[in-house]
Amino acid sequence: MAAAEAQMPFIKNLASSAKTPTTDRKLRTQSLATLQTYLSSRTGLPAADALKLWTGLYYALWMTDRPRPQQALAADLANLVLDVPAACAAPLASGFWSVLSRQWASIDALRMDKFLLLVRRAFAAQVRFARGRAWAGEQVDRMLDVWRRLAFDADDEDGVSLGLRLHVLDLWVDELEREKALGPAGDGEDEEEDDVAARDEWVRRVGDMVDALRASPVKSVRNRASESYADERLPWGTRESDGEGQGEEDEDEGWGGIDD
């Protein structure tokens, strides 16, 4: 572990930049550039290295104060998955979800907003990863498998943190729409028929993960999954405007995280 940390001093610099207001922006920029260079040179990313890396990045954001630096760092960290060789993207994403799930319950109320934003930005970046590969292929399949195991995990005993899972259920449709995974063919950009078919199949596979959670024994997960799965923006969405079948308790649980 000590040897690996010595090879990644930019993590320490990134964390230190959060504590030095007069130099944090410059140091953060330099540290992120070094980190991007380091990741882009990798031919593989072992799970242990991805966990170690994201543990350091988690604490870097933890110690970052003030809204604008927090927002900038959250976006930069989320986009790291786009800076690595394709074969490293799924392991890096797996490290992200694993570390966030492990740490979620320990995030205090004063820091929660920036981590809610980080999750939203990371999910969106992982959608862009799939879009950049025309929604299909081995690396896209690997990323979907990471989501199935660590974001939309249907195992309620050993799965992801409940709070993190609920947040993902809150945001997934919004981010699919934002990243042009939803909507009619050719909406905002030229798409070949095969690309549209691949996109729709990819969305269906994500929907299947949410569909599995509609049978969760945890009421909050079951209700949130059912509500988001029926969103009218989805190809199969049938949400009723009057919220039929949703009680007052479910409406209270429907907060959607940070409004971007």
- What digits encode the pLDDT tens for the residues 41-76? 888 999 999 999 999 899 889 988 889 989 999 999
Q: What is the pLDDT of residue 12?
A: 61
| Range from 31-45, 99-113, 160-174 carrying the lowest mean pLDDT | 31-45
The C-alpha atoms of residue 61 and residue 39 are separated, in whole angstroms, by 19
Res 19: pLDDT: 52
CB 206 within 8 A of CB 176: yes
pTM, two decimals, is 0.83
Q: Does 260 reside within a domain?
A: no
| 102: in domain | yes
Q: Does 216 reside within a domain?
A: yes
In tens, the pLDDT along 229-258 reads 999 999 998 654 344 444 444 444 444 455
Query: How many structural domains are present in the chain?
Result: 1
Structure confidence at residue 177 (pLDDT): 97
> What's at 30, amino acid-wise?
Q
Q: Is the confidence at residue 5, as pLDDT, over 90?
A: no
Residue 259 pLDDT > 70: no
Domain containing 127: what range?
A: 9-183+199-230
User: Per the domain annotation, does 121 fall within a domain?
Assistant: yes
- Residue 258 included in any domain: no
213, part of any domain: yes
Residues 6 or more apart in contact with residue 233 via CB below 8 angstroms: 173, 177, 182, 183
Q: Is residue 32 part of a domain?
A: yes
Residue 2 located in a structural domain: no
111 Cβ contact list (under 8 Å, min separation 6): 62
> Which pLDDT does position 36 carry in this prediction?
86
**Mean predicted lDDT score pLDDT of the chain:** 84
Q: Does residue 21 carry a pLDDT above 70?
A: no
Mean pLDDT, residues 208-237: 96
Q: Is the pLDDT of residue 134 over 90?
A: yes
- Least confident residue range of 101-110, 214-223, 247-256: 247-256
